[in-house]
Amino acid sequence: MTNYSKNLPRADVLSGIQPTGNLHLGNLFGAITNWVDLQKSYKCAFCVVDYHALTTVPDAQELKANTESIVIDLLACGIDPNRSILFVQSDVPEHLELYWIFASLTRYGELARMTQFKEKGGNRETVGLGVLNYPVLQAADILLYGASKVPVGEDQLQHLELTREILRRFNKTHGFLFEEVTALTTKVARILDLKQSSSKMSKSHPEGAVFIDDNEDVIRKKIKKAVTDTGDDQQEMSPSIENLMGLLRACNQDQYNLMLDAYNSQNLRYGDLKVSLGNELCEYLKPIREAKNEWLQKKEEVREILFEGSKKASSIARPRLEIARKLVGLG
């Protein structure tokens, strides 16, 4: 079988983030810090997925503002446009064309079984088609760039498996074009809500989230008010304490080791843990906030970065899409 992917340009790693508002610790430690590390070793493409954001039917001006804001946040956190390709999804129209080719190969039952679709009310007639087809566009996002590695959280592993199924079906039906992809999971896979340890940290519940824009007083107050339930099993660390410890570890390994030793010896005072975590978060986020303020003064440069990023992204995506079109009989 002819390998049509041979010699095509590619990115090693592809990942995306929705423009839904300011970054919080779940975004930062669950994804962005991992991206910053990956760009040191791989050719990475990072995408602001504004088409995906349309599934919530956002206000047009709000979506535009959030897209610009999330790009500035990514730059402030350390995404380097000289090392990585940073672009906005809707600036690269190849995404939607490959999405439709993939949608024609994907079965309704596969999409209806997706856990996230069910969680968003998949059994109701009022649920938008975009919510159902979300994983298909996600597959197009990944496979357009020939990326073999995809940083994902545990909640996205099912979608990545569907991506594998779609690429195998395309290759079998039309010809070998898309390479296999593997998941890259993060050390801090899931950051929990500070007030509700049964839920992920989310922008929709700001009381339980720490945002990178929060000032130091707000950060310390939120950590001080974080729940510290002991859990049902006294032999194991409760989810809320494990969450605080995980955040501390992400900020400062030495402080984490000290608190873990205290916990293991049953000498940990939760007040001390919160003070330590509050201090370390303030120290960790300070340079990010300062960098963000600098980028806010350079919006023309940000637009130029996105313009160049879209050109670089298209130079990888277009050749692969052109072959896909020919293989399915288009053009």
Which is the catalytic residue, given 6, 40, 64, 120? 120
Other Cβ atoms less than 10 A from the Cβ of 150: the count is: 21
Residue 47 near residue 88 (C-beta atoms within 8 A): yes
Per annotation, catalytic residue among 43, 195, 203, 326: 203
Matching residue, tokens 């906030």: 289
The total of other beta-carbon atoms located within 10 Å of residue 69's CB is: 19
Six-digit token string for 60: 């047009």
Residue 232 tokens, joined: 């049902």
The answer to whether residue 200 is catalytic is: yes
- CB contact at 8 A, 141 and 102: no
Catalytic residue, chosen from 6, 64, 149, 200, is 200
- Asked if 203 is an active-site residue, the reply is yes
Burial of residue 278 (number of CB atoms within 10 Å: 0-12, 13-18, 19+): buried
Contacts with 210 (C-beta within 8 Å, 6 or more apart), sequence order = 24, 25, 194, 201, 219, 222, 223, 281
294 neighbors 77 (Cβ within 8 angstroms)? no
| Residues annotated as part of the active site | 120, 200, 203
